[in-house]
Amino acid sequence: MKIVKFDGELLAKTLNEILNVVELQGVQWRRFKELNKILKGFRSHEMTVLSGKTGIGKTTFACEYSLDLAERGVKTLWGSFEMTLPRLCRTLLHQFAGEPLHFQQPMRVAAWASAFREEVPMFFLNMHGRPSEKEVFSALEESTQKHAIEHVILDNLQFMMGSSDTRRMEEKFQRQDRFVEQLRGFTTRTGAHLTVVVHPRKTDDDHLLTIASLYGGGKISQEADNVLLLQEEVGTAVPKKYIQVVKNRYDGTQGKVDLHFNRDRMSFRPSTRTLETLTVSEVAE
């Protein structure tokens, strides 16, 4: 720690904050453009927490949210501790294609898979059994060093931590808090943006979540730069689903983004991209 005057490095960084605001806001979403108005963009060195009730679609949204950025060139690592990789990739491929692939001919599905492989810079943690915390962080470090990963998605915190011998709730919360501190340290040290899916505390079906609904001792919401809640209002003729930003450390803006789920395409914002014709040999490769 040292005392400095308003000159030199501090002055330069302050001017950069003012003059280069667009660059500092980060990568812009294309599918979820409304997020740009709230979060301003996707930035390095940040940790985002995504939560929502069981079965509401947290993983499906996390897939499309991360795919949106990967399509912009953000190198992405997916760590799915609850859903198998083939099922996860099935969701991603549907969202990438913007088509109900289960109704398409095998060659067309294979062509979309080939396009995804070539165009989307996305990697996956291939886990056998439940990995230890040490193994998880070792893999995360390797991803940034060897593959220059810029965005890591971990789904979800509770499954990732696994079971332990701690039976008292207080001990479980303390263990989670220590784990969250390690995650925060990882993103601060490496610069990779970390998106963590977190289960909420149990609540009544008709109650909306708040930032206090996150499971644990409060450390996760304190360490997070952004907190996104996938909400559903069920007291209406047609249930309304939306993403609510309840914490935004960058500039404090909060707000909602309405979502409409297309089940056949497994997408909240179906792509309108077209598939270039591929030969059989190209698909096979």
Taking only the tens place, the pLDDT of each residue in 167-188 is 576 677 888 899 999 999 999 9
Cα gap 212→221, rounded to integer Å: 8
- Position 20 scores a pLDDT of 65
Q: Mean pLDDT over residues 267-278, rounded?
A: 78
What is d(CA 98, CA 262) in angstroms, rounded to the nearest whole number?
10
Residue of 38, 124, 117, 115 whose CA lies nearest to 76? 124
Which residues face 111 on adjacent strands? none
Average pLDDT over residues 179-204: 94
Average pLDDT on 10-20 reads: 74
CATH superfamily of 27-284: P-loop containing nucleotide triphosphate hydrolases (3.40.50.300)
Question: Comparing 276 with 117, which gets the higher pLDDT?
Answer: 117
How confident is residue 122, by pLDDT bands cut at 50, 70 and 90?
very high
pLDDT reported for residue 23: 62
Domain locations in the chain? 27-284
Report whether pLDDT(279) > 60. no
Candidates 151, 215, 220, 214; CA nearest to 180 is: 220
User: In angstroms, rounded to a whole number, what is the distance separating the alpha carbons of residues 67 and 56?
Assistant: 19
pLDDT digits (tens, 9 = 90+) for 70-93: 999 999 999 999 899 999 999 999
With a threshold of 0.75, does the pTM exceed it? yes
Output b/e per residue, 205-238; b: 16+ Cβ within 10 A.
eeeebebebbbbbebbbebbbbbbbbbbeeeeee
d(CA 55, CA 38): 25
CB–CB of 275/116 below 8 Å? no
Sheet containing strand 76-80, edge to edge, reads: 122-124, 76-80, 151-155, 193-198, 47-52, 226-233, 240-248, 255-259
Q: E strands along 125-234, which residues?
A: 151-155, 193-198, 226-233
Residue 265 has pLDDT above 90, yes or no: yes
Q: Which residue has the higher pLDDT, 4 or 17?
A: 4
Task: Give pLDDT, residue 283.
Answer: 46
Q: What mean pLDDT is predicted for residues 110-136?
A: 91
Tokens, residue 16: 């950069």
